[in-house]
Amino acid sequence: MKPAFFLMLFFFIGGTVFGQTMSGPSTMTYNGAKYACDMIEFGIPPKDAENVIKDRMRAAGYMPEKARGVLLYKNVRMDELGSDQAYDLVFDISRKSRKESDKSIVSLISAKAGSLPEGKLKKGETPPVITNALTAPAFLGSFNVAVVQRAYELEIQAMTKELEKLQKEYDNLVKEQSKIEKRISDAESDLKKNQREQETMKAQIESQAKMLEEKKATPPGN
């Protein structure tokens, strides 16, 4: 085998260990037919996994063809796949499960260029037998570096968002404290005012009571 294959295999195994991914052979339905494929799990949501793949392929000079529900790249020549052969790559990206929507399953058909039917097979048509690239598993594993980086960025974003949420809650508590302290200050001011008014009223009552007693003590004719 070529040195490039061993290098990609190393990336694949290393990514599996450190990225906590699972991988292996599988099957995938494409254009109405089921084909053998290679599969890997990425610890990031499907949309992010799609962007990781697009970024990697764009950097290699490839843009996806129009295709429903998959990423389709035609006539791809990359050292990671073996530069002596052109491949048509079909990536299917989905969430791992309803409960694990933050993880994705990426399936890859890596067929010899031109061997996949252009459109959906008609009823009764037999799909061609394809052979996926031997280096396809290692090629998928090589995405783990970018996947781990994206997972790190997502974690930073989530932690930043949580920090902003906590900061906002704290700021609201500080504002609420200011309002409470103002209400307390106003209440203390009202209490002092009430106490002064009580004293004034008490003095008026005492004065009025004294005047009443004096009036009772001096009836008319005395």
How many angstroms separate the CA atoms of 36 and 209, rounded? 107
How many angstroms separate the CA atoms of 184 and 145, rounded? 58
pLDDT of 10 above 70: no
* Residue 167 in domain: no
In 3D, which of 142, 126, 137 has the Cα closest to residue 35? 126
Q: DSSP readout, 100-161?
A: TTTSEEEEEEEEETT-S-SSPPPTTPPPPP----TTHHHHHHTTHHHHHHHHHHHHHHHHHH
Q: 3-class SS at 93?
A: strand
Q: 87, 113 in Cβ contact below 8 A?
A: yes
Q: Given this model, what pLDDT does residue 35 score?
A: 92
* Residue 45 in domain: yes
Q: Given this model, what pLDDT does residue 222 score?
A: 62
Q: 3-class SS at 76?
A: strand
* Residue 38 in domain: yes
* Residue 217 in domain: no
How many angstroms separate the CA atoms of 196 and 201, rounded? 9
Residue 60, domain CATH:
3.30.310
Q: How many helices (H) and strands (E) are present in the chain, helices listed first?
A: 4, 5
Q: What is the largest CA-CA distance in the chain?
A: 138
Which range marks the domain in which residue 119 is found? 3-159
Q: Which helix (H) or strand (E) holds 97?
A: none
In 3D, which of 47, 5, 44 has the Cα closest to residue 142? 5
pLDDT digits (tens, 9 = 90+) for 104-151: 999 999 999 988 988 787 777 788 888 899 999 999 999 999 999 999
Round to the nearest angstrom and report the end-to-end CA distance of the chain.
138
pLDDT digits (tens, 9 = 90+) for 46-67: 999 999 999 999 999 999 998 8
CA dihedral 62, 5, 35, 60 (to 10 degrees): 0
Q: 13, 21 in Cβ contact below 8 A?
A: no
* Residue 209 in domain: no
* Residue 60 in domain: yes
CA 152 to chain centre: 11
Q: Compute the average pLDDT of residues 175-180.
A: 95
Q: Given this model, what pLDDT does residue 163 score?
A: 97
* Residue 82 in domain: yes
Q: Show the tokens assigned to 215.
A: 């009036």
Number of domains in the chain: 1
* Residue 114 in domain: yes
